[in-house]
Structure 1
Amino acid sequence: MATGDQADVLNRINVLLPNWFDGNGNPILEGILEAYAYAGSFNYSQMAYVLLQMRITTATDENLDLIANDFFGFNGYPRAAGENDASYRARILASVLQERATRNGMYTVILTLTNRAPFIFEPQRAADSGGYSVGGCGYDTFGSWSNPNCAYQCFIIVYTPIVKLVSSVAGYNIPTGAYNTPSQAAYLSPNDYAYIPNQQQIYNAINLTKVEGTVCWVRFST
């Protein structure tokens, strides 16, 4: 018996019955009380569900989509096809509390989406381009050229996520998936498939964190 289930509610009702009511062996009274207990248990479960939806960290189902609409505008931060609640919730929290209008904010949001550190190059940032007569910079070495004509611009290389896909798993009516044989069979759910953000979601994240009036050139790489 768990708090709020039908048996719990029925027990609470029986405790409150007047002394002259004897529920034992009275099918009519028991039936009436069971009906009230069922309704009370249903209402309790609904209340518990509603309480979960009041916080992003515990919200579920379509309520997460409604929360995203509240913060980012209608369909401004949609759930990806097949994306589960945990992944969508993490993206919402990362964007709602995201540091904005900074290089670090952009770096962090891309890292959150892809789980891989992006490469960000600002042509007018000395730390990105280095200089002559300093270590780590020179001809025929790895580095980037500065260009004063590229004011308020940056170049970003976004690396696609490295995911472990489901493979080598037999399906029904496949001999390798038979019982009592060496096999590679498994029961899978949508949560077993890795979520991979699409390019538009990454573009949206960059637009949410970049400074207005700046240009970000984006390239995707593996």
Structure 2
Amino acid sequence: MARLYDSQKAVLRATDGKILLDTRVIPGSIDDFASRLRSLLPVGWFPAVPQDLEDETAPVLVAVLRGFSAVLAGIWTLLEECQQQTRLMTMSGPFLDMLAADYFGPDGLARRTSEQDRDYRARIVLSLVAQKNTREAVFNALLSVTGVAPTIFEPLNAADCHALASSAMPAEGGGYGYGGAGLRYGSRQGGQFFVETALGHAADAHVIYQAIEKTAASGVTGWVKVSK
């Protein structure tokens, strides 16, 4: 553990008067690799490593070793970067985009314009554990990709269809039916639903179709109307 000196070669001290020591070089740095390589050389072939304020007596050796070490330090930095890109919570940049494409398809969960890594990562995490198969799941999926709350209608759901009204009695059945505003026809045949949504900030209608396809229950048909 070497002492630390200032530009005048005076020993540096802390505010309490204790001598400051250089604990070690930064792991993976050029100095670190140069020191490791020098320690592997046969004893006696080259001058010993200088201590404290001693002058370096093998500058050519040090230059050669630092040249090799620069390459190794670059590889070390690359390995650290690659290690970060192997985990969702630490990856960044295009690696996040590639992960989203792997899990959700090329257009399934694309990065929004100017969206930061932090916000994009949060959307990916939510999508990975998102609820599936239910009406609420379809609603939340569409809200996520468009930013707009969709209208979902199920013909078999009495809460959506109500009873039939008529122009003569428009208030009957909650005002739904013949001659009533917001006309919706019910049906006892299930296995389908209707969606009305705005495009919002989705890239195109295909993104909306994909969100529904990946969220709705298998075998159920969704009829979609997208407005701009």
Say yes or no: TM over 0.5.
Answer: yes
2:48 to 5, 13, 20: 20
Rounded to whole Å, the distance in 1 between the matches of 2:198 and 2:189 is: 23
1:138 to 161, 165, 175: 175
Residue aligning to 2:73: 41
Higher mean alpha-carbon deviation, 111-120 vs 141-150, is at 141-150
Correspondence list, 1:102-117, <5 A: 102-117=134-149
Residue aligning to 2:130: 98
Rounded to whole Å, the distance in 2 between the matches of 1:97 and 1:110 is: 15
1:79 Cα deviation from its structure 2 partner: 4.9
Residue aligning to 2:210: 204
Match for 1:157: what amino acid? E
1:62 Cα deviation from its structure 2 partner: 5.0
Residue by residue over 1:75-104, the C-alpha shift from the partner in whole angstroms, topping out at 9 and shown as x without a partner, is 584857988774765554444322111111
Q: 1:96 to 1:40 in 2, by over 3 A?
A: same
Residue aligning to 1:10: 31
CA contact 1:122–1:154 (8 Å) conserved in 2: yes
Two-structure CA RMSD over aligned residues (Å): 4.0
Identity between Structure 1 and Structure 2 (%): 25
Higher mean alpha-carbon deviation, 132-141 vs 38-47, is at 132-141
Correspondence list, 1:58-77, <5 A: 58-64=90-96, 66-68=98-100, 70-72=102-104, 77=108
1:30 to 62, 67, 81: 62
Correspondence list, 1:67-216, <5 A: 67-68=99-100, 70-72=102-104, 77=108, 79=110, 86=117, 89=121, 92-131=124-163, 137-138=174-175, 143-161=182-200, 196-216=202-222
Q: 1:151 to 1:35 in 2, by over 3 A?
A: same
CA contact 2:49–2:56 (8 Å) conserved in 1: no
TM-score w.r.t. length of structure 1: 0.63
Larger radius of gyration: 2
Match for 2:227: what amino acid? S
1:113 Cα deviation from its structure 2 partner: 0.9
Residue aligning to 2:10: none
| Ranges in structure 2 where 5+ consecutive residues have no aligned partner | 1-24, 40-46, 166-170
Rounded to whole Å, the distance in 2 between the matches of 1:78 and 1:115 is: 13
Rounded to whole Å, the distance in 2 between the matches of 1:114 and 1:120 is: 15
Rounded to whole Å, the distance in 1 between the matches of 2:189 and 2:114 is: 38
Residue aligning to 2:12: none
Q: 1:77 to 1:161 in 2, by over 3 A?
A: closer
CA contact 1:156–1:217 (8 Å) conserved in 2: yes
Match for 2:144: what amino acid? T
Match for 2:174: what amino acid? C
Structure 2 residue 61 is matched with structure 1 residue 55: no
Q: 1:63 to 1:141 in 2, by over 3 A?
A: same
- For these two proteins, the number of residue pairs brought into alignment is 185
Q: Which has the higher contact order (CA 8 A, sep 6+)?
A: 1
Rounded to whole Å, the distance in 2 between the matches of 1:112 and 1:35 is: 52
